[in-house]
Amino acid sequence: MPINDTLNAFVAHGRIEVQTTQQGPLAGLSFAVKDFFDIAGIPTAAGSPEWLATHPVPTVSTPIYDRLLAAGGKFVGKTHTDELAWSLNGENAHYGTPTNPAAAGRIPGGSSSGSASATSGGLVDFAIGSDTGGSVRLPASYCGVYGIRTTHGRIPLTAAVPLASSYDTAGWFARSPVIMEEVGRVLLDNVRPARRPTKLLIARDLFNAVDPRVSAALQPALDHLIGLMGGSEDVDVAHGDYPAWRNVFRVLQSEEAWAAHGEWVTAVKPNFGPGVKERFAAAAVMDPKEIAEAKALREKITARLLSLMTKDTIMVVPTSPGIAPLLNTPADQLDLFRARAIELLCLAGHAGLPQISIPAATLDGCPLGLSIIGGRNCDEDILAMAVEMGQA
């Protein structure tokens, strides 16, 4: 029987159930897939009615879907996304806003909005999303669930709509860290046994950059992790340059998004909603000099992060600058909040690192996530650490 979607989490054209085997590590678990990934026989809209109208129904499925089915998972539908995945809010001007089950009257976060909503509300056991600049991690924090951005390139993004190729990654949500880890064993290429990190870094400058009430709410979970690790070391990650780090992400994401979609945008002239419209307009007129400067700075940022993040090291940062903003928050306020969020979220993206957001606290009755960043290809290690934190 199809799911009773009381959350507006699922797209109308993707309400199809499929199960090919009831054997495997994911047997008994249901899942949804963000409508940004192709599934053979089901249209892909990528959050845009014009994309839906101008693209044929896929004949090939993303390997992510095939792997999950082969592992015994039951597919129950495709979920809403922001247009072309270029938003962190989850408010789609064409298809509406999925409900945030964990924070009434507040946005679910995006762009993997429907996947976060469906997971948080118990409609599925886990759900697939994509994360370019925080599109899994931020809605995970807002909706009170686990959410991972994987190492860049660790999971093939074949048969998926691109946004910014050097930042795009696959990820997923679950309410249980054990399920998060099980999905990782199925999806990660060259999966290996988890190693226990030996060094814990606290990104003190990023904790100082958020509201003191946020840091205070996260402190008990942070103390818990420090206790498990037997100590920690404070580190100044960006030396006050995180606004510049955010701008590098803005510039390079814009360049890559226009390279991926500029021809289609020019030909179709889609009726983008607020925020997405302005971002594509700016992307169309990027300054080559600014792009070159951003690429050079990204190399320095990556070198800085890789010098910190060895395979035996994890680093903790706040996932979000605060709880989910209220529905219908004025655009200028959302833009300011988005900028602050990207300053926290862009680190992993710049260096291609994995990051998991853990539902660690509440503030004013709403969820807050604490994030663990690992070294490249250390996805198994941060998933295992999330399990350890949940069991202790």
Active site residues: 34, 111, 135
Q: What is the CA radius of gyration of the chain?
A: 19
Phi, psi dihedrals of residue 326, rounded to the nearest 5°: -65, 150
Give every CB contact of residue 107 below 8 A, 6+ residues apart in sequence: 89, 90, 91, 97, 100, 142, 324, 325, 326, 327, 329
C-alpha–C-alpha distance, residues 175 and 173, integer Å: 7
C-alpha–C-alpha distance, residues 215 and 352, integer Å: 26
- Nearest-CA neighbor of 248 among 133, 148, 372? 133
Residue 25: Cβ within 10 Å count: 12
- Nearest-CA neighbor of 171 among 201, 195, 139, 144? 139
C-alpha–C-alpha distance, residues 116 and 34, integer Å: 10
Answer yes or no: are the C-beta atoms of 172 and 128 closer than 8 Å: yes
C-alpha–C-alpha distance, residues 336 and 340, integer Å: 6
Answer yes or no: are the C-beta atoms of 38 and 159 closer than 8 Å: yes
Q: What is the DSSP code (8-state) at residue 392?
A: -
C-alpha–C-alpha distance, residues 302 and 376, integer Å: 11
- Strands of 199-203's sheet, edge to edge? 74-79, 30-34, 126-131, 169-174, 146-149, 355-363, 366-374, 313-318, 199-203, 233-235
Strand partners, 173: 127, 147
- Judged by DSSP in three states, 267 sits in helix
